[in-house]
């Protein structure tokens, strides 16, 4: 900064509030100037060319009224920021006249640069062949092993000791082999003795009944079903459940076969079936069949030993054992894939009954058929000790009618009911009455609760069904009902359901 740039107050300037300047106001002294040393290299790099004292450009072309511009030395702040430290004269900028340093090219590596030129090397010196070895004397085993330090007598003694040790080892091995061989022997023969105990009752029953039990197979397209049956007549009649053969009965293209205990498999035909008792009769053209002995329902008591025979889960000739758990147990039979809609007065047993046992016999301790296994009650679908069989009296009646006429008629009083259980009474409440039917003619109305039919107490709708089926068609029966809290006895004459 030159002296002309020093601060001088303008006498014509006004104060901030518009008034004239105060001449008596104190004046600030000028700021001391810092003038760093200007390097000759900086002047040569950033100053004007030699001989030019004015600014760059043609001075003649500048406007005459423009003030002259005078280029001063570099600003001290720039000089302080970008200049050399004090006492340093060397410049980082290469002088223009400095010669360019030529760098030698890096030699190419023929192992890394495929395009490098071929380099020749001097051949290696030929190594002279080794001098041939002088043949030595042949060494024996004693020289090789002991270096001539053991005499021939000592070697002979060692050989004798080794032979003795080998013989002892052979003897010990032979003895050990004999001891090990004593664990097995070809002279031992196991003997089996016959049982002197009499044959068990279940075994005798199974032996007597198995020849009369058959497996029933029905197929239709890709569907198949398996059940059981029992021969009831030597002419080839077999009784089974309706739900076992309902697919074959309702589909003309289905096939039906039975397999006997000896493995003989023959086709079978449907003689007749009854959907209200879940019974059906089949016929085969096979002679000299083993016929099962039929018992009577009146001879069956709770606690009697029983045997269930059939083909559960497709396993033919399977025998399970149990007892009669209960009698006169109303059980409704229906399900998907069958047209059976029945309520049976079942014999309950704890003998294991599984899918495939259906249609097979329930046999007492004397080998007599006392029922046809039909259902199980289970949350999982497997046997849990609650099986149900159709009583043999019902089986005999229905099978006889199907063989003779091909159909079975049941008594009917013309009502539909639902079970009712409360603090006042338990029974079957009438939901609707068939117009002109036996119940309407007897004066039974909707809302009445039937509590007894004949000698049988009615505790629900299913029990009403089996109680009516026990009656004879055309024979009057006493029916007790509750109407508006009063007990009423009426006489009803069942008619055929046909």
Q: Per the residue annotation, which of 212, 215, 228, 243 is the catalytic one?
A: 243
Cα–Cα dist 205/211, whole Å: 11
Please confirm, yes or no, whether 325 is among the known catalytic residues: no
Name the catalytic one among 215, 228, 246, 278.
278
| Annotated catalytic residue 288 | no
| Catalytic-role residue among 215, 325, 358, 459 | 358
215 is catalytic: no
Write out the catalytic residue numbers. 243, 278, 358
């Amino acid at each position: 900064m030159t002296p002309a740039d020093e601060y001088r107050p303008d006498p014509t300037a006004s104060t901030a509030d518009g008034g004239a300047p105060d001449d008596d106001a104190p004046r600030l002294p000028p700021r001391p100037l810092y003038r760093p040393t200007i390097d000759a290299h900086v002047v040569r790099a950033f100053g004007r060319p030699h001989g030019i004292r004015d600014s760059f450009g043609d001075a003649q072309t500048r406007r005459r009224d423009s003030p002259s511009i005078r280029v001063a030395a570099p600003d001290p702040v720039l000089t302080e920021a970008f200049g050399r430290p004090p006492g340093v004269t060397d410049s980082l900028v290469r002088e223009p006249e400095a010669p360019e340093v030529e760098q030698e090219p890096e030699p190419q590596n023929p192992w890394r640069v495929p395009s490098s030129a071929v380099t020749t090397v001097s051949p290696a010196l030929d190594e002279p062949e080794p001098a041939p070895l002088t043949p030595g004397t042949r060494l024996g085993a004693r020289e090789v092993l002991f270096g001539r330090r053991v005499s021939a007598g000592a070697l002979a003694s060692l050989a004798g000791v080794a032979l003795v040790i080998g013989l002892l080892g052979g003897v010990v091995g032979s003895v050990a082999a004999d001891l090990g061989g004593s664990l097995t022997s070809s002279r031992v023969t196991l003997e089996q003795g016959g049982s002197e105990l009499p044959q068990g009752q279940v075994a005798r029953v199974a032996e007597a009944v198995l020849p009369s039990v058959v497996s029933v197979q029905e197929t239709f397209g890709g569907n198949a079903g398996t059940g059981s049956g029992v021969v009831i007549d030597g002419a080839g009649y077999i009784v089974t459940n309706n739900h076992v053969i309902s697919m074959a009965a309702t589909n003309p293209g289905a096939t039906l076969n039975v397999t006997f205990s000896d493995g003989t498999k023959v086709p079978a035909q449907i003689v007749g079936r009854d959907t209200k008792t879940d019974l059906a009769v089949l016929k085969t053209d096979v002679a000299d069949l083993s016929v099962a002995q039929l018992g009577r329902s009146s001879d069956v008591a709770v606690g009697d030993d029983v045997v269930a025979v059939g083909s559960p889960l497709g396993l033919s000739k399977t025998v399970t054992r149990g007892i009669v758990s209960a009698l006169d147990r109303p059980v409704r039979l229906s399900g998907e894939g069958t047209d059976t809609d029945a309520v049976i007065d079942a014999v309950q047993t704890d003998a294991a009954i599984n899918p495939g046992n259906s249609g097979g016999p329930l046999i007492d301790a004397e080998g007599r058929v006392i029922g046809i296994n039909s259902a199980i009650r289970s949350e999982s679908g497997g046997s849990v000790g609650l099986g149900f069989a159709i009583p043999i009296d019902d089986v005999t009646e229905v099978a006889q009618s199907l063989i003779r006429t091909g159909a079975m008629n049941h008594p009917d009083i013309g009502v539909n009911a639902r079970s009712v259980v409360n603090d006042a009474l338990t029974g079957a409440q009438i939901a609707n009455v068939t117009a002109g039917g036996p119940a309407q003619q007897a004066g039974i109305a909707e809302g009445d609760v039937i509590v007894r039919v004949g000698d049988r107490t009615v505790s629900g709708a299913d029990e009403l069904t089996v109680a009516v089926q026990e009656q004879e068609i055309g024979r009057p029966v006493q029916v007790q009902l509750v109407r508006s809290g009063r007990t009423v006895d009426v006489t009803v004459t069942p008619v055929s359901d046909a």
